[in-house]
Chain A
Amino acid sequence: MSALSLLYAVLFYFATAVLVLGLARKIRQYARTPAPLKIALTPAPVTPAGVPWRLAREVVFFESLFRSSKWTWLFGWLFHAALLLVILRHVRYFQEPVWLVITLIQPFGTYAGFAMVVGLAGLWARRFLVDRVRYISTPSDHLMLALLIAIGLTGLGMRFVRHTDIVAVKAYMLGLMRFDIQPLPTDPVLLLHLGLVALLMIVFPISKLLHAPGLFFSPTRNMADNPREARHVAAWASALDK
């Protein structure tokens, strides 16, 4: 086992721990923070049963974004949908045997790689071209897009320009999951790709990528509009009644 294989193994264990523990901590924080008042936002479902449907429309179709900004929606949705396909495509590196769906998805996943980069490029262009969006952009907003584009381009590079030894990569990943470190190919594009992915995992729980869990905890979106029918009281607020 080379030092490099070991280094990347440590990096991935570390990144996974940060991602999982960091997200768990945040989710626990969101779940434990009370929502003292009913602040459902129109158009809200009038029963709790309608809430999952509303959230699903936001998650799957980006409904509100579609209403607000067609270009952002187009690029944003394209990027997220493509990312999902790409991630599913990568599942094959972590399985033996590979599920049938994952096998069937492979060709789409390849094109999705391009779609992902196009979507990201579109989002990035807005940050330069639209004066309002330029004003609100911070360096981290740019860097996040740069990071994702770099991940996409290095991935595409290995698929179309300089093939890497994916059999060895797969053996390495399977080994990682069994705590049995295998040799990692020393292909620089691969190393860059993997390093950036680990970086993404690490920044996830401390960045705006928290919009992913945040969406589910947004009271304006996950509350039912039924305040006259069901009393809603948070613990710290009801203490005032005493």
Chain B
Amino acid sequence: MATAAFDTPKLKEYPVIPLIQVGATSHLKPFVASEAIQKNLGFPGELVEDWQAKAIAKMGDLLGKYRSLQVYMDACVHCGACADKCHYFLGTKDPKNMPVARQDLLRQVYRRYFTFAGKYFPWLVGAKDLTKEVLDDWYSYYYQCSECRRCSVFCPYGIDTAEVTMAAREIMDSIGMGQKYSNEIIGKVHRIGNNLGIPGPALQDTLEGLEEDTKDETGVDVRFPLDVKGAEVLLVTPSADFFSEPHVDSLIGYAKVFHAAGVSWTLSAKASEAGNFGMFIGNYEQLRKIALRIREAALELGVKRIVVGECGHAWRVAYSFWNTLVGIGAGGKDPFAIELQNQLDHRYKQPMHICEFTYDLIQRGALSFDKEKNDSRIITFHDSCNVARASRMGDFAGGQFVIPREIIKAVANNFHDMAPETIFESTFCCGGGGGLLTDDLLELRVKGALPRMEALKNVVDEHNVNFMATICAICKAQFTKVLPQYGFDMSMVGGVHQLVSKAIRLGDK
């Protein structure tokens, strides 16, 4: 089904906070998951009979399981400090895309059923019964949030709309109202091992093709190994790296780094995907189940280190959650965690980001580069939300900002950052994160990209920037689609390891 026509917003010289336009994007909702997709994940196939009672019970359950949700439902003072911080509000003008209003969609129901004020004085505190209308609002607007957490950086209490969004999606899944895109992908991970649904043999083929291409390009035998037992490193990367442009250029970059450093590595057919959409739907069990594949693969292959490729939310899950979910990281005391700990090499961070890996080698002088090979590029860096605000790199605060930039500067001569209020922890989302990278939400994706596009335009105009590097598969896919809408060339976007790939010297030439 084609999406209805819409206007791409005009890029302004200075960012302007729009006046609200009630209902501007109330028509935007992603396709609902089919019965088969839902059942695969153990969710009801369609909206259940007594959905209202079930949803309220689920909300109660989540309030008892997540301190974040409980505190955030109570603590908001409606100060509005977050209101103009969401890229979707800035791009769509719909007031329900203001983070506080987005939270209020759940909060109004929380108040009605779980608080004194809402039970007895609903009109006073804006409490509402859970009606079909409210549920429809949930489905629209909780799928217009990329869970990017920009708003929570600016909230005086750190109220994290992503947590609220996740809870809302979890509630909707539990009553049979799932989103097609995310839930279909999770099903593919379970069935086939990765988000794109690439079976092992196809993966093998692709990797062999990449070996040939790299040989043609460099004259060197750079390997792309799959399921090699006893390799030092297990690389887990977004499956987009195997097939999509420009993602694959970064995969070639990782392979060259491993090659140049003389570190043996492997991919795993079983855990060929780093992305974990369990996070997008806020479901702990799915999150854990998807993460378990990595632990199993690591144990089976007997690797010493686990390295994660260029994927934003995958890195959040790996860095922040893997230790909790499956004991990848230090300090676990249950039998599985201990078994894994004994196998992994704890002189290294577990898990490690590919940028940390490359940066370490650069620091130790183990890699050398012909920087001028990147001279045709004037580069800027887009901090991806999940890396910027929800995870870290290296062993110092802010490493996730410093390390990718230092890598870029080590492999290229021209670098300019975008405006300070649009990078680091204030970075603007690409507009496609959080399970929204689907064509049924194209209008939202284009409009949500507006603040990033404005910041980009400024460095294009001022410094002739012609390349925006990023370390997230979703950002890359989103930008290649959205850049042309704003009059930019889609090849302007690419990975950090794409730049590394171009400049790295492969010793044995």
Residues of chain A whose beta carbon lies under 8 Å from any beta carbon of chain B:
26, 29-30, 33-46, 58, 62, 64-65, 67-69, 72, 76, 123, 126, 130-133, 135-141, 143, 206-208, 210-211, 214-215, 217-221, 225, 227-234, 236-238, 240-241
Contact = CB atoms under 8 A, between A and B. Distances in A.
A210 B75 contact: yes
Interface stretch (B222-230, B329-337, B444-452): B329-337
B324 A231 contact: yes
Interface stretch (B96-104, B269-277, B406-414): B96-104
Ordered nearest first, which 3 A-B pairs have the shortest CB separation? A214-B75, A68-B154, A220-B158
A206 B329 contact: no
B78 A137 contact: yes
Given A41-B390, A136-B100, A237-B284, A228 B319 contact: yes
A237 B323 CA distance: 12
A36 B155 contact: no
A229 B117 contact: no
Given A215-B157, A240-B288, A241-B336, A30 B67 contact: yes
User: Which has the most chain A C-beta neighbours within 10 Å: B63, B155, B158, B320?
Assistant: B158
B6 interface: no
A29 B395 CA distance: 34
B64 A33 contact: yes
B117 A207 contact: yes
Contacts of B78: 133, 136-138, 141, 208
Nearest to B392: A225
Contact of A208 (B17, B75, B324, B395): B75
B457 interface: no
A148 to B, nearest CB: 12
Contacts of B395: 46
Interface in B317-349: 319-321, 323-324, 327, 329-334, 336-337, 349
A233 to B, nearest CB: 6
Nearest to B401: A42
Given A64-B153, A72-B79, A217-B67, 16 more contacts: A37-B321, A42-B390, A42-B398, A46-B396, A68-B85, A131-B19, A132-B17, A140-B124, A140-B126, A207-B117, A211-B77, A214-B71, A227-B320, A230-B330, A231-B324, A237-B284
B82 A68 contact: yes
7 contacts: A64-B154, A206-B116, A208-B76, A214-B75, A215-B75, A218-B158, A230-B331
Given A38-B324, A39-B390, A219-B68, A208 B160 contact: no
A91 B20 CA distance: 45
User: Which has the most chain B C-beta neighbours within 10 Å: A34, A72, A130, A133?
Assistant: A133
A34 B71 CA distance: 11
Contacts of A130: 80
Interface of B: 17, 19-20, 22, 63-68, 70-72, 74-85, 95, 98, 100-101, 104, 115-117, 121, 123-126, 149, 152-160, 163, 284-285, 288, 319-321, 323-324, 327, 329-334, 336-337, 349-351, 388-390, 392, 395-398, 400, 425
B123 A139 contact: yes
A231 B332 contact: yes
Contacts of B288: 237, 240
B95 A29 contact: no
Contacts of A45: 397
A217 to B, nearest CB: 5
Contact of B323 (A132, A143, A231, A234): A231
B79 A76 contact: yes
A230 B333 CA distance: 11
Contacts of A123: 79
A217 B71 contact: yes
Contact of B65 (A62, A207, A236): A236
A132 B117 contact: no
B65 A34 contact: yes
A61 to B, nearest CB: 11
B74 A36 contact: no
A44 B397 contact: yes
Contacts of A227: 319-321, 323-324, 329
Contact of B101 (A135, A208, A219): A135
A65 B83 CA distance: 12
Contact of B74 (A143, A208, A230): A208
Nearest to A212: B75
User: Which has the most chain A C-beta neighbours within 10 Å: B74, B160, B285?
Assistant: B74
A236 B285 CA distance: 11
A224 to B, nearest CB: 11
B159 A218 contact: yes
A45 B321 CA distance: 17
A141 B156 CA distance: 17
A42 B98 contact: no
Contact of A231 (B80, B125, B155, B331): B331
B331 A33 contact: no
Contacts of A221: 157-158
User: Which has the most chain A C-beta neighbours within 10 Å: B19, B77, B153, B400?
Assistant: B77
Contacts of A240: 284-285, 288
B447 to A, nearest CB: 17
Contacts of B83: 132-133, 136
A221 B152 CA distance: 10
A40 B323 CA distance: 14
Nearest to B126: A138
Contacts of B149: 41, 220
A229 B75 CA distance: 30
A135 B397 contact: no
Nearest to A54: B158
B95 A36 contact: no
Contacts of A41: 149, 152-153, 158, 160, 389-390
B67 A136 contact: no
B65 A36 contact: yes
A211 B77 CA distance: 7
User: Which has the most chain A C-beta neighbours within 10 Å: B17, B82, B157, B324?
Assistant: B157
